[in-house]
Amino acid sequence: MILQSLYDYYQILLKDAELGIAPPGYSATKVNFIINLSASGEIMDLIPLVHRIFDGKKEKEVSGRTMIVPEQVKRSVNISANFLCDNATYVLGLTEKESKNPNYAKLRFETFRKYHHEILDKVTCKTAQAVLRFLDSHQPETAKNHPVLSRHLEGLLEGGNLIFSVDGYNVLDDPEIRQAWEEYYFGKDALKLQCLVTGQIEPIARLHPSIKGVRGAQATGASLVSFNLPAFESYNLKQGLNSPVSQRAASGYGVALNYLLSQQNLNRKIQIGDTTIIYWAKSQDPRYSSVFAALINAEFSQESISQGEYQRNAAVEKELSKKAEKVEQLKAFDRSELRKDLDENTQFFVLGLAPSAARLAVRFFLTEPFGVFVDRIMEHYDDLQIVKEYPTQPDYLSPYRILAECVSPKVRQREEELQTTWSLLGGSLIRCVLNGSPYPEGLLVAILNRIKRDSDEENRSVKINYVRAAYIKAHLLRKYRRQAHNPYQEALKMSLNEAYQHPAYVLGRLFALLEKAQREALGQNINATIKDRYFTSACASPATVFPLLLRLSHHHTAKAEYGGVIDRQIQDLLQLLEAKPFPQRLTLEEQGVFVLGYYHQRAAFYAKNETSTPQGVDHSTNP
């Protein structure tokens, strides 16, 4: 299903002439130099290739240019040559590793030479003959002293790719050479089986293409499909024969996947922990992906997308989805307007990949009509709706902001530790958002642990804030949505529900009142409030803490200016408990309800302070 979807998208990409997508058997590769040969195979010139990019401030030149070349082989420690495009060690026998292995460059150049004779010996055009004459006459031992090569020796030794031209004519444009390559690549003598992707009887790919751009994977590329151990073989079918995919389909899905992971793709990949997320629609219209990216990253405006090697012109870029811009700027919008001019039945795909040694692990693969994904993402934001602490706080809480609340503020400054933490929960959260399922339980545990461990007095962190309360509300909503009864439904409102009598919710409200009494009596400059000292115990085991807090409250209400009003409010909440003893302990979910009760009550104090100054008002500036 994944390979089929990627191959279908490859067919769509081929129709966009601006993208320059490689046809089957070829790949888009960065080339640094062109070796210009004479008809007799002598090096006449070495032409450096550069391209210009815009880094956000100005244009600058960068070495190398992306070109369509014959598909590159997969190399690790093996000696294997590419056709008509390779590094200086293979093409010229130039290297700096002679001290460790005197035959290092010679072996690679000989492999390159034999490989080209194998493909080009029967090709009679002058360009093919010129390349073969060069390979037969070139001496790697004296290459560094060649008058043309010596001028560019430093750049050649850096490892960039080289291609050939003959009298200024690009060898890769010669139709006879391309025909010879395609016949060799698609293998007339290769084993033919029914392809799992196309259903056609075609030559089967022994090795699948390398995929680049997944964070944490090998820089040279990793495999999405590979079999290289006896344990992976079935009925003695080795390597690619174990799951027969034609060379044409393998090349196609590899090109599509590499494009989606590259900077050439306008809709950039999403990175959460070790999970790299890519997305595409079964359509040539780029607005589907643009709107999806904006919805997932609703808090953050996307950076300039003209940082890579490929740039669309300004007119095309401006054309991309005004709806997405509205989402990014957090302007109010309705769903019918978001979908206007977009077919909500268009199939949309989301793929999450993670590194696994030299391979890629599929974290998730989701496919639904585009409208379904929009509904599920908006449902995620709807579930998170809760009364704000401040009017300037965002309406839409992205997965990034939620995950940031799972770690200590100290860890947030250390990228490596942050990514490790996110790797455990990030992919699961995104998957739950996109398939509409309950959020991962581990995320609720992480949020509650941070609430218990953080202190309002340290590092300007806040134990209970807008994001944490919103997530707890959404977590409990989604967990019980598909069940017949939600025991906490009345607590999962936007704001305070004074009629709800669940003990955990009432105790959370009561704790907020007791803290308010302390602040009214002692002022704002308190070294440690009851929240700093007792909140964790009150949330987990109320019976051990609340009797003490109620005794302390008598002293606080006696000193507070509106102590009598606060005392009556405390008594009203105690009556809601129906004279039952305080619970010995609260479950994890009840602890979440406790936090919501506390947050709602504090927000109610703040709302009163915004509108009027009634008796018993909370004078604190930080709700």
Residue-wise pLDDT for 336-346, tens only, equals: 556 667 888 99
Of 486, 506, 537, the domain-final residue:
486
Domain that holds residue 205: 1-17+187-262
The distance from CA 622 to its chain's CA centroid, rounded to whole angstroms, is: 34
Pair type for strands 50-54 and 59-63: antiparallel
* Model pLDDT, residue 608: 58
pLDDT, tens digit, for every residue of 572-621?
999 888 767 889 999 999 999 999 999 999 999 876 555 544 333 343 33
Report whether pLDDT(413) > 60. Answer: no
Q: Nearest-CA neighbor of 306 among 56, 1, 50? A: 56
The pair phi, psi for residue 568, each rounded to 5°, is -65, -40
Query: Where is average pLDDT lowest: 42-56, 107-121, 410-424?
Result: 410-424
* Model pLDDT, residue 158: 86
Query: Is 326 among the domain residues?
Result: yes
* Model pLDDT, residue 612: 46
Residue 277 CA to residue 350 CA, distance in Å, equals 7
Query: Is 311 among the domain residues?
Result: yes
Q: Nearest-CA neighbor of 223 among 189, 200, 257, 252? A: 257
* Model pLDDT, residue 19: 83
Residue 424 CA to residue 428 CA, distance in Å, equals 8
Residue 228's pLDDT band, with cuts at 50, 70 and 90, is confident
Residue 457 CA to residue 429 CA, distance in Å, equals 30
Q: Where do runs of H (alpha helix) occur along 235-342?
A: 247-260, 287-296, 314-319, 322-328, 335-338
More confident residue, 82 or 419: 82
Report whether pLDDT(503) > 90. Answer: yes
Same domain, 477 and 502: no
Q: Nearest-CA neighbor of 327 among 362, 291, 354? A: 291
Same domain, 145 and 253: no
Of 466, 486, 506, the domain-final residue:
486
E strand or H helix that includes residue 28: strand 26-31
Burial of 356 (0-12, 13-18, 19+ CB in 10 A): middle
Q: What average pLDDT score do residues 54-62 get?
A: 63
Q: Is 133 helix (H, G, I), strand (E, B) or coil?
A: helix
Query: Where is average pLDDT lowest: 352-356, 413-417, 493-497?
Result: 413-417
* Model pLDDT, residue 341: 74
Q: What average pLDDT score do residues 122-141 get?
A: 94
Q: How far apart are the first and last CA of the chain?
A: 50
Query: Is 270 among the domain residues?
Result: no
Residue 601 CA to residue 395 CA, distance in Å, equals 20
pLDDT, tens digit, for every residue of 241-294?
788 898 889 989 999 999 999 888 888 888 887 889 999 999 988 889 888 888
Query: Where is average pLDDT lowest: 82-86, 168-172, 423-427?
Result: 423-427
In sign, the C-alpha dihedral spanning 522, 524, 527, 529 is positive
Q: Are 143 and 93 in contact (CB under 8 A)?
A: yes
Query: Is 27 among the domain residues?
Result: no
Q: What average pLDDT score do residues 550-557 get?
A: 89
Query: Is 25 among the domain residues?
Result: no
Pair type for strands 43-48 and 33-37: antiparallel
* Model pLDDT, residue 618: 42
Report whether pLDDT(548) > 90. Answer: yes
Same domain, 453 and 531: no
Same domain, 90 and 201: no
Query: Is 491 among the domain residues?
Result: no
More confident residue, 98 or 36: 36
Same domain, 75 and 101: yes
- Determine what percent of the chain is predicted with pLDDT higher than 90: 43
Same domain, 37 and 11: no
Report whether pLDDT(320) > 60. Answer: no
Pair type for strands 65-70 and 201-203: unpaired
Same domain, 475 and 531: no
Same domain, 225 and 139: no
Residue 328's pLDDT band, with cuts at 50, 70 and 90, is very low
* Model pLDDT, residue 220: 79
Same domain, 534 and 572: yes
Domain total of the chain:
4
* Model pLDDT, residue 192: 85
Q: Where do runs of H (alpha helix) occur along 384-502?
A: 399-404, 415-435, 441-453, 466-480
Report whether pLDDT(445) > 90. Answer: yes
Same domain, 234 and 359: no
Q: What average pLDDT score do residues 5-22 get?
A: 88
* Model pLDDT, residue 461: 52
The mean predicted confidence, pLDDT, of the chain is: 83
Global pTM? 0.77
Report whether pLDDT(314) > 50. Answer: no
More confident residue, 248 or 411: 248
Report whether pLDDT(56) > 70. Answer: no
Please give the C-alpha separations between residue 389 and each of 260, 312, 330, 375, 596, in angstroms, as whole numbers.
Answer: 39, 42, 18, 27, 13
The distance from CA 192 to its chain's CA centroid, rounded to whole angstroms, is: 37
Of 186, 213, 246, the domain-final residue:
186
Q: Are 351 and 277 in contact (CB under 8 A)?
A: yes
Same domain, 322 and 453: yes
Same domain, 414 and 302: yes
Report whether pLDDT(471) > 50. Answer: yes
